[in-house]
Amino acid sequence: MNMTRRHFLVLLPAAALAWENILAGAPETATNYHTSEHWWGMLVDIEKCIGCGSCVRACQKENNVPDGYYRTWIERYRIKEVNGVETLEVDSPDGGMNGFPSSNEPGVKEFFVPKMCNHCADSPCTQVCPVGATFVTPDGVVLVDEKYCLGCRYCIQACPYGCRFLHPQKNVAQKCTLCYHRITQGLTTACCENCPTGARQLADLKNPKDPIHEFLRTHSVQVLKPHLATGAKLFYNGLDGAVR
């Protein structure tokens, strides 16, 4: 019997099918990489981020991200008191790609927050995709199989972190892949590799030797929107309560 794509979608779980397609000829099929041995996340140290935009530029170049769209971006938070009332300003010109204009305004608390896909263990985006084009890999990375994506935007609407966009030419959903093509080859992500202060660190939560475990024990690390219980694996150190 000649099995068509439609037959497979009916007979098999769509997410499993998407995974099989990702596996076909993909780097993670190499014998020296075993998905069951890893559980990927990322640590962002707010206290080290200088808002230089190196991570955004590196991501754009590595992943051929279309102009005006971002798989990762930086937000600047400025907190100041006006007439006894604390006010908050947030900006992200060009996704923070080219840094931020200097500000010497007295009495203003200023800090930078890099953002991206949180690679949730219980991701809302995977739950709403009607064809299983977006799914979580066995090693904890949320991916999109562009061959099956319908461009319906359901996952874009469902993401509570605003990290997805519709590719203007391909008409498919795109987002941070945690540089899956790199980490399955033993490399770190492009954003981590190009961060001049080490504010971003790739973390293998299944590796007992990964420094992330000691860091989590000795620092007050948080995730964005914890009340949503998405199982986010983008951890922040020094996260201010004003960050949304």
The pLDDT tens digits for 103-117 are 778 889 999 999 999
* Cβ 223 vs Cβ 116: under 8 Å: no
Question: Which of these, 181, 221, 224, 179, lies nearest to 202 by C-alpha position?
Answer: 179
Q: How confident is the model at residue 20 (pLDDT cuts 50, 70, 90)?
A: low
With 50 as the cut, is the pLDDT of residue 14 above it?
Answer: no
Distance (Å, whole) CA 114 – CA 33: 29
- CATH for 8-238? 3.30.70.20
Tell me the average pLDDT across 18-43: 70
Q: Which of 101-105, 109-113, 188-192, 238-242 has the lowest mean pLDDT?
A: 101-105
The contacts found for 58-61 with CB under 8 angstroms, 24 or more apart, are 58/190, 58/191, 58/193, 58/194, 59/176, 59/190, 59/191, 60/97, 61/190
Tell me the average pLDDT across 67-95: 94
pLDDT tens-digit readout, 137-157: 999 999 999 999 999 999 999
Ranges of each domain in the chain: 8-238
With 60 as the cut, is the pLDDT of residue 171 above it?
Answer: yes
Q: How confident is the model at residue 242 (pLDDT cuts 50, 70, 90)?
A: confident
Q: Which amino acid is located at 20 in the chain?
A: E
Q: How confident is the model at residue 26 (pLDDT cuts 50, 70, 90)?
A: low
Give residue 3's pLDDT: 35
Give residue 243's pLDDT: 92
pTM: 0.86
Tell me the average pLDDT across 218-233: 96
